[in-house]
Each structure stands twice: as structure tokens, then as C-alpha cells.
């Protein structure tokens, strides 16, 4: 099953990204609101150009009928505005996954949707900070109480596509590339803007 293949075959990439320096900072009890704002900015720079490409692909709207509800850009824009950052002043990431085919885009969306599952743990951590408020954690809160429901619905849509083995392999490859490029972008931004050490 494609959903099992994705979880199993991207496990090393997931483990790697969890220990990337900016995500360690994100989970630290010492996290400041300024560092949090930087991490949200890095996310936006990465997600925005990718979602723009996917929005322009009609096949994706057919493959994933509720795709509109799944884009993360407006959640990130709300967080940025409430953090006092104008989203349109942020640069687009120079490191993105190749998103040429529908199978590539499905891999990207899998990673973004799955990240909402782990994000529940992250929100729990964020709530411990004195500066926490709901207005700046829209992205990490995701679908809130509907996270589990939206995740199951996404997996059902993926399975309903009845992809061939070759197509499934392309989706998995793209998911790996999404993890890797996101990690590279986060690390680069962390080094340049947060003075985090290179791994």
C-alpha cells in the first residue's frame, strides 16, 4: 500500500529532519518568540513557491478533491501577520523539490499533511511558553480537532488513485526529496539567520 510505503521508506528522512538544528530550537524550552517567528518565516519561504506550482496543476485538484483546504500558505500568512512580519517581504526558497508531475506533487502533499500529525506534539510544547497565543500558531495547530480526520481522508484519497508500482515509487521519491530539501533549506536559513551551527 502506498501509505505504508511512504511511512516506512521516508522514516530515515523523518528522523533526520527531527534532529535538524532549527527543529531542535523549536522544541527547546528556551525558544524565544523571535526564533519562533524566524522558523515560521523559513517555512513560508519554502511552502509558498511549492504550493503556487501545485495550485496551477489541474490534475492535482482532481486527484485530491479537498486540496484547497490543505494548502498551508494562508495559515502561515496569518501567523506571520500576527507576529508582525509581512509575508510578501520574505524571499522564496532557493531549495525546493522537483514538482513536475502529479506524482511529485502527491509526495509533497503527503509530507505536508503528515507534518500536521507530528505538529500536535509541537503545539503541546509551544503552549508551555509565556508568549504562546493561538493567533501565531495557526500553521502548527493545522486542522485542530480535525487533524486525525483530515489525515485519514487524505490517505483514502491517495489509495483511491490506484497508482501503479512505478507511480508509487515516484511519489515516495518525491516525499524523500521534500523532506531533504526542506531540511536543507531550514539548516541553511538557521545558519545564516539564527547563527546555528552546520551539522
- Point out which residues bind ligand HEM (CB under 6 A): 6-7, 14, 17-18, 23, 26-27, 111, 114-115, 117-118, 121-122, 182
14: CB partners within 8 A, 6+ apart: 179
Q: How far is the CB of 8 from ligand HEM (least distance, A)?
A: 8
Q: How far is the CB of 14 from ligand HEM (least distance, A)?
A: 6
Q: How far is the CB of 3 from ligand HEM (least distance, A)?
A: 6
Q: How far is the CB of 198 from ligand HEM (least distance, A)?
A: 18
- The C-alpha cell 514538482 sits at 99
Q: CA 43: distance to chain centroid?
A: 7
Residue number with CB closer to ligand HEM (163 or 182): 182
Nearest residue to ligand HEM, scored by beta-carbon proximity: 114
The residue among 22, 49, 199, 45 whose CA lies nearest residue 122 is 22
- The C-alpha cell 536559513 sits at 189
Residue number with CB closer to ligand HEM (14 or 101): 14
Q: CA 114: distance to chain centroid?
A: 8
Residue number with CB closer to ligand HEM (18 or 52): 18
Residue number with CB closer to ligand HEM (6 or 126): 6
| Cα-based distances in Å from 106 to 8, 34, 45, 99, 189 | 16, 33, 20, 9, 26
Residue number with CB closer to ligand HEM (6 or 63): 6
Query: Cell for 42?
Result: 523559513
Task: For residues 54 and 105, give the distance between their C-alpha atoms in angstroms, rounded to a whole number.
Answer: 7
Residue number with CB closer to ligand HEM (26 or 136): 26
Q: How far is the CB of 95 from ligand HEM (least distance, A)?
A: 14
Burial class (CB in 10 A: 0-12, 13-18, 19+), 164: exposed
Q: How far is the CB of 17 from ligand HEM (least distance, A)?
A: 5
Amino acid at each position: 500500500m502506498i501509505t505504508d510505503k511512504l511511512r516506512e521508506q521516508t522514516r530515515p528522512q523523518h528522523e533526520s529532519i527531527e534532529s535538524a538544528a532549527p527543529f531542535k530550537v523549536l522544541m527547546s524550552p528556551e525558544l524565544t518568540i523571535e526564533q519562533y517567528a524566524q522558523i515560521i518565516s523559513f517555512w513560508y519561504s519554502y511552502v509558498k513557491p511549492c504550493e503556487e506550482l501545485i495550485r496551477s496543476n489541474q490534475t492535482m485538484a482532481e486527484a485530491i478533491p479537498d486540496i484547497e483546504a490543505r494548502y498551508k500558505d494562508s495559515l502561515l500568512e496569518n501567523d506571520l501577520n500576527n507576529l508582525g512580519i509581512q509575508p510578501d517581504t520574505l524571499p522564496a526558497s532557493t531549495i525546493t523539490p522537483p514538482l513536475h508531475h502529479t506524482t511529485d506533487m502527491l509526495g509533497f502533499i503527503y509530507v505536508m499533511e503528515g507534518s500536521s500529525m507530528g505538529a500536535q506534539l509541537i503545539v503541546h510544547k509551544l503552549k508551555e511558553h509565556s508568549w504562546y497565543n493561538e493567533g501565531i500558531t495557526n500553521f502548527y495547530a493545522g486542522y485542530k480537532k480535525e487533524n486525525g480526520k483530515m489525515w485519514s481522508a487524505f490517505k483514502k484519497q491517495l489509495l483511491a488513485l490506484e497508482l501503479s508500482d512505478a507511480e508509487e515509487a515516484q511519489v515516495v521519491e518525491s516525499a524523500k526529496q521534500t523532506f531533504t530539501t526542506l531540511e536543507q533549506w531550514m539548516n541553511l536559513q538557521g545558519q545564516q539567520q539564527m547563527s546555528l551551527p552546520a551539522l
